[in-house]
Structure 1
């Protein structure tokens, strides 16, 4: 078996030799043998392991990539596959959430275009009871959404009652649509926060294509990672039973 130096592994990926040593120490690649003078000796098995690990990172994230490689090196392949399955399940949930947000934003945008601007002097705020009647939910539901971080109504300084402004009403309408679609409150809170960060439904609608491209890129990264990991496992199995499990 041909031998490789740390610089050989590092050069292929444009990383430092210290990074290679760190990956070895954390169990992302198998332990290297040492020369009599203490220098590390890597092989094509280590090179395949490093390719697999670095391909897993954009697909599943640093933490999951490390967990997958450690599971492989403990000869716990079912555990590694379970982590991979969770990643695919999360990507599917993200795709479903994106589609729900796209539908909800389109719905709200269409409603906004069809609704005339309020007459001058007409109130654009709602009390908790008024907003609950508008959405056909209970005031307790709106309070639960507030507790979950979905709504952030102001308080009337005189009465202390909740006051929902235009942005709060928009967030409540979006939450109502997503809740009817079966989405959990913590997921809805994340979506609403994205709308607030984007500056409204118009800005969010413009960012949905970017979100879609990111999910597509992650899906393609998963395909690439599967190829790299499969190649590594095949090489392990061909090397006298492999180098796993590692201590």
Structure 2
């Protein structure tokens, strides 16, 4: 859309759609969802949009990569309801989630660094095996905690066929130590379980290096996208404020 559009300039749905690779139906759907302000109508009932709608569309499409479709929709709805504080609260929540994700990644990387050089504890019970008591002692936790982690799927010991005792092989010890590191970092079990599943599927820690690099890349891209979204949202808020103040308000809005 051209930068010299005035709020009084009438635009058709196709005018908004073509610059973003959208269909005219998508533009209408965005309006019905509250992402765009309500369109004006011609005497024959056709929708007409203005530069304000073009700014809203740019803001929404810029917000989606950083905040996700659902949150971006909620942000735009709040703005269009004249609730800018609610919109900014939603933006803040997304930034807080991104920061939490960065902290989680750092905790995972620290845990992996701690795990790699360390041998499995208490291997006297077998070549690479240990039991619940020695493992709990090595980690400084109670055996009941290891049993709770087992119930949550974090640790998967096997049972000795003769005694029925839990036996922790090298992989199970690795999982227990990683879970312990993340729990010390304050992360809940439901966040730890998917990571351990990834370690198991990868067959070890080294294959996760690529996944961690990808994780870093996704977080960086998300942060940059949030900056772009913030700029477009600010531009929309400014234009909307001007129109509401009556400096360029048209009868179509």
What's the TM-score, normalizing by structure 2? 0.85
**Aligned CA-pair RMSD:** 2.3
Shift of 1:241: 3.2
Matched, 1:108 2:112: no
Aligned residue number for residue 58 of structure 2: 51
Matched, 1:215 2:196: no
CA separation in 2, counterparts of 1:39 and 1:157? 76
Matched, 1:88 2:95: yes
What's the TM-score, normalizing by structure 1? 0.87
Contact 1:51 1:228 in 2 (8 A): yes
Q: Give the gaps of 5 or more residues in structure 2.
A: 1-7
Contact 1:71 1:79 in 2 (8 A): yes
Q: Deviations over 1:72-122 (max 9, x none)?
A: 11111111111111111111111111111111112212225xx8xx89x94
Name the SS for the 1:201 alignment partner.
coil
1:129-168 to structure 2, matched below 5 A, reads 129-156=133-160, 160-168=164-172
Name the SS for the 1:202 alignment partner.
coil
CA separation in 1, counterparts of 2:230 and 2:25? 26
Name the SS for the 2:82 alignment partner.
coil
Which region of structure 1 is more displaced relative to structure 2, 193-202 or 52-61? 193-202
From the superposition, tell whether residues 78 and 157 of structure 1 become closer, same or farther in structure 2 (CA, over 3 Å). farther
CA separation in 1, counterparts of 2:233 and 2:165? 57
Q: Give the gaps of 5 or more residues in structure 1.
A: none
Aligned residue number for residue 241 of structure 2: 237
Aligned residue number for residue 205 of structure 1: 209
CA separation in 2, counterparts of 1:142 and 1:163? 12
Aligned residue number for residue 193 of structure 1: 197
